[in-house]
A and B are shown apart, each in its own frame.
Chain A
Amino acid sequence: MCGSGGAGVMTAANMLLDAAADAGYYALFGRSAGPQIRGGEAAALVRLSAEPVTSVDDTTEILLAIDWQNVHRFAAELPLDGKCVIITDPTQGEVPEVMAKSGARIVELPMKDLAKEIPGGRPNMIALGAICQLIGLPIDTVTEVLGKSLKKKRADAYEASVAAVQKGAEAALTMGETKRLPTVSDKPNRWSITGNEAAGLGAVRGGITFCAAYPITPATEILEWLTSALPKIGGTFVQAEDELASINMCVGASFGGAPSITATSGPGLALMTEALGMSLASETPVVVVDVQRGGPSTGIPTKSEQSDLNIALYGMHGDAPHLVVAPNSIGDCLFTTQWAVHLAEVLQSPCIVLSEQSLGQSRGIIPAPADIAFVGKRLIAEAPAEGEKFRRYALTNTGVSPMPLPGTPGCQYTADGLEHTETGMPSSQAGDHFAQSDKRLRKLTGYEFGDHWATVEGEGELAVITWGSSTGAAREAVMRARADGVKAKLISLRLLAPARHDAMAKALAGVKKALVVEMSHTGQFHKYLRAEYDLPQTQLLNRAGPLPFRPHEIHSRLLAMGGK
C-alpha cells in the first residue's frame, strides 16, 4: 500500500495488521519512506500468513496506490509480475510505466470519489476495505479494530471509517480473484511488536537500569520506548548532547553499578568507538545497539543494510577483544539484546548489538517470546581483608575479576583507559601489557556461550551461512529447497565476536558447499568468515542495501549448487 505522505497509508496498514492479528494471523509489516518529515512518499509492505513469517515474499500480490506521487521511487522495492493486481485510483494519475510494464493486472478503484460520498470518509479506509475483501479478511474484524481505536474518542470518525471500509469492500467484489488468506482455526499466543521495541524490552529484561542516548534514524524508537519504560521500573533515561556523551554517560553509570545501554546507528557508532575502547580497557560493561542503515557516512538513514559489521568487529584501535551479537528476526531483537546485557555484565566487556532498520522499524505479529531468565550478573567485589590491597584487575583463571560498587570501603580503584597493573595503577611495562591483554582476551574466548552462538536448522551437504535480517529469506529458501529434494541447512550467526571455532566446525560437519548471504556490497561477512573459520567450498550472494533478499533468489542458488 503506497501513497504520498498524509494519504494515511501507514494508518490503514496498521489497521490491516491489527485486524489480521485479531483474526489469528501472523504478519510482517515493513515500512519504506523517503527522507521527508512530512509529505514524502511512503510504502507499507505487509505480508500476512497463517504461519510465523520472518521474511518478505518473492513478489507482491496486491499493490494499492492511494495516489502515485513519487511512488515510482519504490519500483525496485516492489517486485511485480503477471499474477499481481495493481489497484489504482483513476483520478490520481497513471500507473507508472516501470510498474505497468510488469504485466500486472490493473484494476481501477476511485478511492477519492467513493470517499467523498461519505461525510468524513477517507480514501485510505476505502483502500483498507477493498484489500480485506480481496484477501478474505472478514470486514467485521476491521470494524472491530476501528471501534477499538476510534469509537470512544471520535464517534463520527468511527461511523465514517466503517462506512468507507464497507464501501471499499463492496467495490472490490467486482475486481476478480487474488490470492486469499488461508483460514485459521485458532488464535495462538502472539505479540505485536517492532524490532526496536523488542530490543528495548530485551534490555530491561536483561537488567538495564540506565540509558543515555542521542536521537538517530533508524534507532530512535529504542530511545522512545526506553524513555517511558525505564522510569516506570526505577531506571534512568537521559537524552545526551551527542553520541560521545551518551556512550560515556553509560560507561560512567556502569562504573557506578548500573547496567547501561545506548542505541544508535552507524554514524553514532563511529563516534562511540573511542569510548568503547575505554569500556574494554577499564573492563566496565556497556551495551550498544547499532540499528544499521545504508552507509557509508550519512548514507541512507531510512533504509536497511548489513554493512556495519566491519566497524563493529574492527572499529576499535589496539588489540580490542569484545562482544558483537546480532538478532536475526524481530522477535530475536528481544532475546539477543537481553543476552547482550547478560554477556556484557558477566564478562565486564562492551557488547555491540548489530540490529538493522528492516528489523528495528518493522512491526511483526510474532509468536509470543519466551521469558528467558538471562539477567546480567556482575561478579561483585567485597571489601578485602584488613591490610590487603584490593586488586581490581587480578589475573584470575577465567580472566574475570571482581568489580566493586563505588561505596564499598577498601575497594577504591581508578578505572583507566591506560594500561594498568592488577591494582589498576597506570603502567607502560611490557609485562603488565602482556598479562592484561591476555586476561581481556581469555575471559571472552574461554567463556561457554552455549547454543545461542547461532541458529542452526536442518541437515544437508549444503549450507546457507548468513546473519541478521537475511536469515528469514534464507530459512524460507532452505525449506523450499528441501521440498525440491535438495537438503540444506541454515547457519545464522548470532555471536559474531568472539568467533566460535569448535561450534562452527561442528555445524559444518558433513557440509560440502556453502552459500554465504549478506547485504553488504563488499562482502564484509564473507571476508570475516574466511578470516575466522575453515569453510567448505563457498559461494557468495551479496549486494548493497536496501533491497531485502527474496527467498527465490537464495532458493535458485541452492538448487544450482545442489545440481538441480
Chain B
Amino acid sequence: MTECTAMTYTAKDFKSDAKPVWCPGCGDYAVLSSITKAFADLGLEPHKTAVVSGIGCSSRIPAYTNCYGFHTIHGRSLVVATGLKLARPDLTVLVAGGDGDGFSIGGNHFLHSCRRNVDMTYVVMDNRVYGMTKGQPSPTTEADWDASAMAPPGGTGLTPFNPLAIALSAGANFVARAFSGDPNGTAAIIAEAVRHPGFSFVAIMSPCVTFREEQREWKNVVRPAEGEPATDAAEAAKRLMQDDGYNMGVLYKGDRRPYRPVTGSGKTVADLDIQFAL
C-alpha cells in the first residue's frame, strides 16, 4: 500500500460501496458526487481526508465515502471536526449535514465555528425541511409553508434563518451557495472552499423530493451570481441581505488568518513537576 502516495485518485475512489438510505431523486446523491469529484480534482488521498457529519438524511454521507469518517450526534459535527482538525492539521476535514442539524440544534456551534475560523469546509445540504423525521419545518423553511401535516396551518410564521448572512457576520472566511442540480458547478465551489484557508461555508440547495416536491422547480429559478466574489465583508453583507436566495457561486472570500492554537515550547512532562515540589 505504500505506493498509494504516488497514486492519483478518481471520484470513484472516494466513494464506498455502501448503498445510501436516501429517496430516489434526493439532491444529496449529486452532492455526494460533487464532494468526491472535488476531492479527486484537488488531488487528495482518501486516507488523508476526513468527512464528519451530524444526524439527518444528509448526515449519512461519511459512510458513503471512502474517507475517514465520523457520523456524530445531532448538531455536533462542527465541534467534533474542530477537535479533529486542531489535533490533526495534516488532514483535510470536510463537515457535512443538513439545515436542521446545522442551524437549529447545532446553531451555536455554527456561529462559533465561523468565528473560530479553523481551516475546514462546511457543506450544508439545505432542503428547508426535516426529512428523516418526516416533514417538520426547519429553521430555513418559509414562514407560510404548511404543505406537511407536521407544519402548523398557515405555516410557522417565523422568518427563515439566513445562513449565508449569518456565516458572514459571524466571521466565516468563505461563503458560497450551490445547487445540487449542477454537480460540476457544485464540485468546483467545494474544491475552491477546501483550498481557501480558514472556515469555508458552502450552502447547497438540495431538494427534498419527498416532503418538498415543489423544490423540483429550483432548477428553473437558480442563476449564477453576477460579478466576482466580494472580498470586502461590508460589500458582501449588502449583497447577501439583498439576495433572493437563488444566486449561485462564491459570494465572499475573506483573508482572515485561520485559527491555530498556541502550541509547542519544547518542555517535557517532567519539567511541569518543578512548580509543585518544595
Contacts and interface: CB of A to CB of B under 8 A. Distances in A.
B249 interface: no
Contacts of B109: 241, 244-245
B192 to A, nearest CB: 24
Nearest to B71: A416
B82 A249 contact: yes
Interface in B86-101: 86-88, 90-91
Nearest to B72: A278
Nearest to B77: A248
B161 interface: no
Contact of A204 (B72, B83, B269): B269
Interface in B174-217: none
B276 A193 contact: yes
A191 interface: yes
B47 A410 contact: yes
Interface of A: 21-22, 187, 189-193, 197, 201, 204-205, 209-210, 212, 229-238, 240-242, 244-245, 248-258, 260, 274-275, 277-278, 282, 365, 368, 371, 383, 386, 406-418, 424-426
B76 A260 contact: no
B63 A251 contact: no
Nearest to A382: B1
In the complex, which of the residues A230, A232, A275, A412 has the most CB atoms of chain B within 10 Å of its own CB atom?
A: A412
B98 to A, nearest CB: 16
B48 A252 contact: no
A27 B231 CA distance: 61
B47 A408 contact: yes
B87 A412 contact: no
A245 to B, nearest CB: 4
Chain B contact-residue range equals 35 or more
A425 B18 contact: yes
In the complex, which of the residues B62, B81, B265, B272 has the most CB atoms of chain A within 10 Å of its own CB atom?
A: B272
Q: What is the interface of chain A mostly: helix, strand, loop, or mixed?
A: mixed
B47 A407 contact: yes
B261 A238 contact: yes
Given A234-B264, A412-B67, 12 more contacts: A189-B277, A193-B276, A232-B266, A235-B263, A245-B76, A248-B83, A249-B86, A255-B84, A260-B87, A406-B68, A411-B47, A416-B70
Contacts of A197: 276
B269 A236 contact: no
Nearest to B277: A191
B278 interface: yes
20 contacts: A209-B87, A231-B263, A238-B82, A244-B79, A244-B109, A248-B83, A249-B80, A252-B70, A252-B83, A256-B88, A258-B87, A368-B277, A406-B50, A410-B47, A412-B68, A414-B62, A414-B68, A414-B69, A415-B70, A417-B72
A290 to B, nearest CB: 19
Nearest to A236: B261
Contact of A252 (B46, B79, B267): B79
B276 A251 contact: no
Contacts of B80: 248-249, 251-252, 255
Contacts of B1: 383, 386, 409-410
A229 B45 CA distance: 35
B44 to A, nearest CB: 12
Contacts of A410: 1, 4, 47
B263 A236 contact: yes
A252 B278 contact: no
B47 A245 contact: no
B176 to A, nearest CB: 24
A204 B272 contact: yes
Nearest to A258: B87
Contact of B278 (A191, A210, A255, A258): A191
B76 A256 contact: no
